[in-house]
Amino acid sequence: MRTAAFRARLARGDKVIGTFVKIPEISVIEVLAQAGLDFICLDAEHAAFDRGRLDACLAMARALDLPALVRIGGPNAPTILQALDSGAVGVVVPHVNSAETAAGIVAAAHFGAGGRGFAASTRWAGFASRPMSEVLDRDAETVVVAQIEDPEGLESVEAIAAVPGIDALFAGPADLSVGFGQRSLGSPQMLEALERIGAACRAHGKTYASWVPDIDRARDWASYGISLFLVGSDHGFLRAGAAGLALRLQP
């Protein structure tokens, strides 16, 4: 199963390509599942995902065995729990600025004393159809991604990368650029940040992830060691397709 094997693919350093989902509708998940993507990331930070819509979209992703991450709104344990219980293979957590915060999200995402609460009646647990031991074994599939998108996070990136249980660091190029007082993605300061995050990932055996606007940028940034790419979004694909059609129809 693709979802069950997703974390192992990251650990091997496989290149994986996905996109952000901003439209909280199950039909979008169904269409993207036919596109050959390795995974999707439901953007519950910046898009209109309430818990019900998030649950429905994750149900469709699970049914189609399309690995689905959820970018939540912040390092909040109940939100991590809800995303995973609904069937997310993992979480992308924004504004991780310290090793302490990183350790907290790892604990919230995994079962154990003081960590993720256990409930047998969730989608993750097969709605009480699986024994506890099997559900606990599946904890090994959970992916935890720490987003480095603030200057403070960049200054602590080596310590964050060293935290056990952090599977990947996600460079947030837009937020880093804004944090540096820049107005585009290509500033020398931001590119230096990509280098530093990549070095931290290599030093501690973490997957390196980032968002890119298009495949050309993905090819350029692969040199930093990035292997997990979130390319554009469903919004972008929809607009680009419609704009291209409108252009061709113009006299």
Structure tokens at 154: 């960049």
By mean pLDDT, which of 36-45, 92-101, 175-184 is the weakest? 175-184
Look at residue 228 and tell me whether its pLDDT is greater than 90.
yes
Contact between 147 and 96 (Cβ < 8 Å): yes
Give the residue-averaged pLDDT of 67-83. 96
Q: Which domains does the chain have, with CATH numbers?
A: 2-249 (3.20.20.60)
Give the residue-averaged pLDDT of 220-247. 93
Residue holding tokens 């890119």?
212
d(CA 160, CA 30): 35
Vertex 244: Cα angle to 239 and 250 (nearest 5): 125
Structure tokens at 59: 């149900």
Mind listing the pLDDT tens digit for each residue in 110-122? 999 888 999 999 9
pLDDT of 183: 85
Give the residue-averaged pLDDT of 196-214. 96
Give the residue-averaged pLDDT of 169-177. 93
Structure tokens at 196: 């530093």
pTM: 0.95
Vertex 132: Cα angle to 131 and 135 (nearest 5): 95
Categorize the per-residue pLDDT at 98 as very low, low, confident or very high, splitting at 50, 70 and 90: very high
Structure tokens at 144: 């935890």
Look at residue 139 and tell me whether its pLDDT is greater than 90.
yes
* List 46, 95, 110, 204, catalytic entry: 46
Give the residue-averaged pLDDT of 53-75. 97
Q: Work out the angle between the directed axes of helices 99-109 and 77-85 (0-180°, nearest 10).
A: 40
pLDDT of 247: 84
**SS3 assignment, position 164:** coil
Average pLDDT, the chain: 95
Give the residue-averaged pLDDT of 63-70. 98
Categorize the per-residue pLDDT at 25 as very low, low, confident or very high, splitting at 50, 70 and 90: very high
By mean pLDDT, which of 55-59, 212-216, 228-232 is the weakest? 212-216
235 tagged catalytic: no
Q: How many CB atoms lie within 10 A of CB 209?
A: 28
Contact between 207 and 11 (Cβ < 8 Å): yes
Rounded to 5 degrees, φ, ψ at 206 are -105, 150
Categorize the per-residue pLDDT at 245 as very low, low, confident or very high, splitting at 50, 70 and 90: confident
d(CA 4, CA 8): 8
